[in-house]
Structure 1
Amino acid sequence: MSTERNPGPSAGKTVLKGAALLGGAALISKVIGTLQKIPLQNFAGDEVFGLYSAVYALAIMWMTLAAAGVPTAVSVMVAEREAEGDEAGAQRVVRWSFGLLCASGLLAFGILQAAAPLFADWMGAPGAVAAVRTSSIALLFSPAAAVLRGYRQGQMRMARPALSQVIEQTARVAFMLAMLWWAIDAGWNASAATAAVHGGLAAGAVGGLVAMLWPERRRTGAGVWIQGAETPKKRSSRPDGGNVRIVIWPETRKTLVRRIITVALPVAAASVVAPLFGLIDAFSIPRLLQNAGSEAAASLAQFGVYNRGIALLQLVLMAAGGAASALVPALTASRTRGDDASETAEKAAFALRLGWWLGGASAIGLALLAAPIDITLFADDAGSRAIVLMAPAAVFGTLQAVSGGLLQGRGDLKSPAVNLAVAAVFKLALNALLVPAYGIEGAAAGMVAAYGAAAVLNALSLRQKLAVPAARLATAWKPAAALAAMAAAVALAALALGALTQGLPARAGALLTALPGVAVGALAFAAALIAAGAVGPRQWRELPGCGPGSRMDARLTRLQAAVRRKTAPSPSSPEG
């Protein structure tokens, strides 16, 4: 018999806090990850950076294949059992998932070790063999960490997974920087240096796993004697005569494993398709450029320039993906408890609005500050045109991630996978059509179109699962006005800062333009949203540090009240 659990904080507050925590951790991780690409490109050049990016896309693909959607299945199944008060059942899900993923990681490690020459040949880079093999070591550790993160997310305990992500990326970058310095000092060739740098994947995976396995303070209580459903009448006692609790599983091991695989397979398809975007680019763009007349070295260099924009785009999309992953257990628990559908739909609508706002703000910022950001991070503005063309993908990619999380939380694990698969095929076709004629700018435009297709397909699928309230024209002008205000503020700031820093070295001037420009844009957008009333006390009080009675809550309330006083018509003004 399941015991009734204390519902704790409201579902909306849990969703927003969990989304903010995981989204923030993902953003911090990607910022740290970007740091490893900057010295690599600066010291080794775009050609080595392109080779590194191609091998990295392959490694991430295999790391995703090894996980095979099981972490999300763990999150869903644990959320179901936690909602019913079945803590022992949730732990059983984790044990079997842990074993499955450790086995799949070992298998993937063996395949990459054996087939590294074949993959390097397909990429047109025989020197990548050592890097492929080195990157595969991470497969021995990363699947286990992924399962444990899924378990904590299913329990709505986001702190440890967020910390694990940051530790994983920090360890990875620290190892990479040390090996890069060593390789340059020792004069290693490009193949050896790239292999050494890719050892950071394994170092990061070990760090993330250690963070998840680090013991916590636990409450003491009666022991648990676990008994299978196959022998429901058997009873045993501990040798020391201590008290135990008998747990009879409602399903056999075989049934449990089958359920894990059944839930995981649709998610696995989506998980595999997401890094497939990068893999498609890695295996198609250099070869298409070569077919158009570029030399092999030049095509890899152009691919490295293209990946500057990809690195910046991923800063946005990974944060959105982390926030979306927090939606899955929250909405699953809501569905299991039978919460009011209209309330759930309203929260889903707010999540989508946040996706529009944050994605739109990111796209505008990337487009307006493309050149100074490119110079700041990568020493020149060779990738600025591709960044400008790729900027709208921030909107569509964010919406795709959020809507995909909403679909998974409502039990639709198939649609996000199918929609992403269609978008990936579309991306491959666009590369073949646009890259020979327009180079990496064509690939950037193809990325926007592919993410746009995935977002539209997800939106159509979501309408069939949840009656999300449509945006009202009477209020749609508010975020539009906030985005326009932000664009104007960023453009003016960029022009002013560019003029003030004109006499400085190019990189210093770009830095002093990009950083203040980003800060001005963020502040202007947030202030405009609040001033226009697009975000009110009901929304901001759910955010960390903005609770009722807090200093930030008082400031935001005063700001909104002041704006309303200025915009309200005077009593003597004529109406009509």
Structure 2
Amino acid sequence: MEMIRRLKGINILIISSLIGKILSALYRFPYQNIVGDLGFYAYQQVYPFYAIITTLSLTALPNFLSSLLNTSDTSEEDESQFFQVTLIISLVSFIILTVLSIPLARAMGTEKLATSLICSITPLLLVPFLSLYRGVKQSQLDMTTTAISQVLEQTIRVTMIILAALTFLVIDEDVYRVSSLAMLGSFLAGLVTLIYLISKSDIKFKNLFKDFTNVKAKFTIIKRFGLSSLVFVFFMIYMLIMQLIDVFTVKDALVASGISSDQAEILKGIYDRGQPFLQLGLVFVTSIFTNALPRLTLDKSEKKIKNIFDLTVYLSLTLTVGLMILLPQMNQVLFKSNSQSTALIIFVSQVALIGIVQFYHHSLFLEGRNRESGIILIIGLVLKIFLSPLLTREMGLNGASLSSVISISFILIAYILISKKFPTQIFNLRFIISLILMATTLMIGSNMFHVEHRFMQLIKLVIISGVSAGVFLLSAKKLKAFSNDLWEELGL
């Protein structure tokens, strides 16, 4: 009975997480349309700081605390020590980043970003509280409260960001101040969410500060976090760290190539359009994989692993092909121009790579091979740090996109080699034929019907996408491209 409750709870969290991811991707389209590429640049330059912090308080730290409390005989003491450790780390991190805000802003391209940077890290002050309340609720198998808090936080945050963008039209045309206001909205969303969580909790606040000077207990909590948890959290924020590398390298590399500072900022804003496209692509891959992960943990049979592996590879490749074909039109419809579409096409090709990498990473995690996985991920980041400025200087935004693709490709190849599990699905001729039929339908539909109004263009894209998906599924079914087990996994 408890296992059933736990699985139901996990499904609730999965759904809330997906809603949050979709909201997080979709708001960027109206935001960019309101503030333009320069305004989008000002926001996206500081966004990775906020996103990393939020990932910790939304999922990473609550999951760790929940596991900690479920295997502990001294849960109340562990609660307080966890809270104290995260409080100390959060406060120290906030102070250091605030003091360094101006030098960091200069390294990011302009000192004007300093205020936005400080606003983006204010959620650090809420991390200990949000993580504690969510983690305790999860340990009690009350996933609904955590799920509601996640959706509530993201909904308020997105609303505040759009309202901040609207001030650009009505009150203030300084894109850097608008960016700061958007980030403060994120802090307000966290604050409202915290009030909701407190109202649903019976934690006694005064007990959280017991034995504050007990250094040994704090080290015990940190030690219990362990290598496996560290690598798992590292992977959760991995793509955000990749974004952070772009924040510090792309604009400066563009300027070094001879482009003016103002134009480089606009180009970086255009480059950042790739993020919502990437997120939307990964939402579908992640949803199926995340839904399958709890079952994979319970059933590690070869059949189950193969089905999930097949599903991950096929879905990742199909979504990537579709995105790459439609991207120029999506760029035009959603962002009012098709500028730098080649760079964005290269950028969204990561969907296939990241989707498949997710499978390998989680497989190694379940096998306890965290050290190998962590080393590969670190090398991938080093490669990105080296390639991003080099390729951007030589090839512009195409080079910036390639630096990410090459880094993720290295990680994928390394994972394949150490796991000795090759993605043979790419040689499935019947799947390839279905993919070609889908791609042909997309290209014919895209070029055959010409409409002028952006709303009608959006409707056209939706219809073409739906028809093409239908063509793919029908041809795959007729050609028997997938096994019966895989069709069952798809629910078809």
TM range (shorter): 0.7 to 0.9
Structure (1/2) with the larger helix percentage? 2
Q: Which residue of 2 aligns with 1:349?
A: 306
Q: CA deviation at 1:533?
A: 3.9
Q: TM-score, normalised by structure 1?
A: 0.72
| Match of residue 457, structure 2, among 503, 506, 510 | 510
| Match of residue 293, structure 1, among 240, 258, 271 | 258
Q: CA deviation at 1:395?
A: 0.2
Letter in 2 for 1:305: I
Number of aligned pairs?
480
| Match of residue 48, structure 2, among 47, 57, 61 | 57
Show structure 1 runs of 5+ residues with no match. Answer: 218-251, 547-555, 557-576
Q: Which residue of 1 aligns with 2:437?
A: 485
Q: CA deviation at 1:278?
A: 0.4
Instruction: Say which SS state the counterpart of residue 45 (structure 1) adopts.
Output: helix
- In the TM superposition, what are the counterparts of 1:97-112 in structure 2 within 5 Å? 97-112=82-97
Q: Is residue 2:1 matched to residue 1:36?
A: no
- In the TM superposition, what are the counterparts of 1:234-249 in structure 2 within 5 Å? none
Equivalent-residue separation in structure 2 for 1:43 and 1:375 (angstroms): 15
- In the TM superposition, what are the counterparts of 1:445-456 in structure 2 within 5 Å? 445-456=402-413
Q: Alpha carbons of 1:67 and 1:35: their partners in 2 closer, same or farther (altered >3 Å)?
A: closer
Q: Alpha carbons of 1:263 and 1:371: their partners in 2 closer, same or farther (altered >3 Å)?
A: closer
Q: Which residue of 1 aligns with 2:224?
A: 259
Instruction: Say which SS state the counterpart of residue 428 (structure 2) adopts.
Output: helix
Residues 43-88 of structure 1: CA distance to partner in whole angstroms, max 9, x if unpaired? 322122112111112333455678995445346556xx5xxxx686
8 Å CA contact 1:48–1:190 kept in 2: the answer is yes
Larger radius of gyration: 1
Residues 368-427 of structure 1: CA distance to partner in whole angstroms, max 9, x if unpaired? 111221112111111322222223211001112232223223333333332222222222
Q: Alpha carbons of 1:163 and 1:449: their partners in 2 closer, same or farther (altered >3 Å)?
A: farther
Q: Which residue of 1 aligns with 2:210?
A: none
Q: Alpha carbons of 1:455 and 1:148: their partners in 2 closer, same or farther (altered >3 Å)?
A: farther
Letter in 2 for 1:295: S
Q: Is residue 2:3 matched to residue 1:46?
A: no
8 Å CA contact 1:397–1:451 kept in 2: the answer is yes
- In the TM superposition, what are the counterparts of 1:177-256 in structure 2 within 5 Å? 177-209=162-194, 215=200, 255=220
| Match of residue 311, structure 1, among 276, 280, 299 | 276
Residues 318-361 of structure 1: CA distance to partner in whole angstroms, max 9, x if unpaired? 554566566666655x4xxxx6x5x1x33222222222122112
- In the TM superposition, what are the counterparts of 1:360-375 in structure 2 within 5 Å? 360-375=317-332
| Match of residue 522, structure 1, among 457, 469, 476 | 469
8 Å CA contact 2:82–2:221 kept in 1: the answer is no
Instruction: Say which SS state the counterpart of residue 293 (structure 1) adopts.
Output: coil
Letter in 2 for 1:389: I
Residues 433-459 of structure 1: CA distance to partner in whole angstroms, max 9, x if unpaired? 321121101111222222222222233
CA RMSD of aligned residues (A): 3.8
Q: CA deviation at 1:494?
A: 1.8
8 Å CA contact 1:317–1:394 kept in 2: the answer is yes
Q: Which residue of 1 aligns with 2:213?
A: none
Letter in 2 for 1:36: Y
Q: TM-score, normalised by structure 2?
A: 0.83
| Match of residue 389, structure 2, among 429, 432, 457 | 432
Q: CA deviation at 1:461?
A: 3.8
Instruction: Say which SS state the counterpart of residue 141 (structure 1) adopts.
Output: helix
| Match of residue 157, structure 2, among 151, 172, 181 | 172
Q: Which residue of 2 aligns with 1:562?
A: none
Equivalent-residue separation in structure 2 for 1:322 and 1:143 (angstroms): 27
8 Å CA contact 1:22–1:323 kept in 2: the answer is no
Q: Alpha carbons of 1:524 and 1:74: their partners in 2 closer, same or farther (altered >3 Å)?
A: farther
Equivalent-residue separation in structure 1 for 2:373 and 2:148 (angstroms): 27
Q: CA deviation at 1:470?
A: 7.2
